[in-house]
Amino acid sequence: MSSKDLMDQEEIFSKVLRAGRRTYFFDVRSTKAGDYYLTITESKKFTHDDGSFHYKKHKIYLYKEDFQSFREIMEEMMDYIIDEKGHEVISERHQKDFKKAEPSENGEISSTDSFTDLDFEDI
């Protein structure tokens, strides 16, 4: 059997979640004995100064005997985070706080406004 045939036999079902610079791959695979397990892969893109890029990957293998405990802990952790911090993504709110500074009605810029969106061509 060729390596391609082995790869086709291993990959049973897949889903992808794209989340900014990160991509999560959820893959159901088959063991040599024909049982199934889950792999969760996080792939994060890093860009170099010259414009080239590379990916760093981290993989978790999750076997059926651990599914129930994993699910219980995962749900508990996610519920805890939502209960403590709500559904709002704080980093998104933080970005809105750093909107481009605009003068007020009297022409002054408030000291609480941010200059992080300056375009260096304007300088």
> What pLDDT sits at residue 28?
97
Asked if 113 contacts 102 with a C-beta cutoff of 8 angstroms, the reply is yes
pLDDT (0 to 100) of residue 113: 45
Domain ranges of the chain: 3-101
46 Cβ neighbours under 8 A, 6+ residues apart: 53, 54, 55, 56
Query: Is beta strand 53-63 parallel, antiparallel or unpaired with respect to 36-47?
Result: antiparallel
Locate 18 and state its tokens: 């794209």
DSSP state of 107: S
CATH architecture observed for domain 3-101: Roll (3.10)
- Which residue shows structure tokens 């970005």? 95
Question: Is residue 110 predicted with pLDDT exceeding 70?
Answer: no
Using a pLDDT cut of 70, give the percent of the chain over it: 66
Burial 82-108 (b: 16+ CB within 10 A, else e): eeeeeeeeeeeeeeeeeeeeeeeeeee
Q: Is the model's pTM score more than 0.85?
A: no
Residue 98 pLDDT > 60: no
Structure confidence by residue, pLDDT tens digits, 22-81: 999 999 999 989 999 999 999 998 888 898 888 899 999 999 999 999 999 999 999 999
